[in-house]
Amino acid sequence: MDSNRKSEVTRGVVLPLIALAVITTAAVVSGQHAVYIALMAAVPLFAAVFASVGLTALVAVITFIAGLVVAFIPGDEDFNSSVAPLICVVAFSAIAVIASQYRSSGGPGATSTVERRKSMQFQLQTQADLDSMTGLLNRRGAIRVLGPRNTDTERVIAFLDCDLFKSVNEEYGVDVGDEFLQAVAGRLRHRLPGHDTVARWDGDEFLLAISADAKSARPALERLIASINGSTIRTTAGPIPATVSVGAALWAPGQELEDVIARSGRALYAAKTAGRGRIVVDGEAGTSAGAPADLPEAQRLTEDAE
């Protein structure tokens, strides 16, 4: 028996039964049965404060039996005077069992054991969907949130790649590189509305899902990355200049996520080929439809989603 179980039995059963023994002894000695039987009604309530429903019910049964025994012991009073106190014992025993159930369930609005288990599973799943370094969704989380097909309004899926990030790691070390990515992630998160999605796809690549159509895609992306391009990122090694390249594609209702991921990857390849700090939207001039995606992970989308 573990310590918590021992504590429950001690406080919820042993102590109430000790109290019951004291009350029973006083009733026998004094002969005032009705008074002390009425006091017995408090014993199950005492048990309900600490014990489980089952243990509380056990204490209630023992208390009622003790009351009956006392009621039949010859004394200054007859049995009829003990009937009302015995009814009180029964009533308070029922209240005690209900109170114990109420306490065990956590009160009104509390979740059941099954619901709590589902909540724990959801929390574990949520943790698995987050990138531990940036706090953003990871690739798995992004795929789960977005779903395999667009069933809503038009959206834009964009890949954002930090230019020359390899040089940051080589010159300043991976710890500073992590600071750099965390700062970029923070700027993206704070610039995006709550209904949009930002995730760390892999390495220095981020995935964005924003509410925009073909006409508003470029202006929306320009506003989003304005806080990064042409600015510096503060790190423990000092400020580091930052630029990002962006490839985007329109995700129309009914289209597969895998398809828009591939088109966004080709647009990103075109943006990086054209030079740093560029935005290329799929279908615009300069996007090479036949260029290989600069995101090999996009080709494994279906495999990663399983």
State how far the Cα of 31 lies from the Cα of 83, in Å rounded to an integer: 15
Is the Cβ–Cβ distance between 247 and 139 less than 8 Å? no
Partnered with residue 130 across adjacent β-strands are: 137
Q: In what order do the strands lie in the sheet with 279-281?
A: 197-202, 205-210, 155-162, 244-251, 279-281
pLDDT at 288: 42
> Are 282 and 246 spatial neighbours (Cβ–Cβ below 8 Å)?
no
Please state the separation of Cα 22 from the chain's center in Å: 49
pLDDT on residue 258: 96
What is the predicted pLDDT for the residue at 278?
92
Every domain of the chain and the residues it spans: 3-105, 131-305
Q: What pLDDT score does 193 carry?
A: 87
Residue 201's contacts (CB-CB under 8 Å, 6 or more residues apart) are 139, 142, 159, 207, 295, 297
pLDDT at 292: 39
* pLDDT in the model for residue 8: 67
Per-residue pLDDT tens digits for 166-181: 999 999 999 999 999 9
Instruction: List Cβ neighbours of 24 (8 Å cut-off, separation of 6 or more).
Output: 36, 40, 66, 69, 70
pLDDT tens for the chain, 306 residues: list them: 555 666 767 777 888 889 889 988 988 888 788 888 888 888 998 888 888 888 889 999 999 998 888 888 876 667 778 888 889 889 999 998 888 887 766 555 444 555 555 555 555 557 788 999 999 999 999 999 999 999 989 999 999 999 989 999 999 999 999 999 999 999 999 988 888 999 999 999 999 999 999 899 999 999 988 889 888 999 999 999 999 999 999 999 999 999 999 999 999 999 999 888 999 999 765 444 334 333 334 434 434 433
Side chain identity at residue 155, one-letter code: R
Please write down the HEC assignment for all residues of 195-261: CCEEEEEECCEEEEEECCCCCCHHHHHHHHHCCCCCEEEEECCEEEEECEEEEEEEECCCCEHHHHH
- Which pLDDT score, from 0 to 100, does residue 255 have? 95
Cα 138 to its chain centre, rounded Å, is 16
* Burial class, 192, CB count within 10 angstroms (exposed 0-12 / middle 13-18 / buried 19+): middle
Residue 36 carries which side chain, given as an amino acid letter? Y
Enter the CATH code of domain 131-305: 3.30.70.270
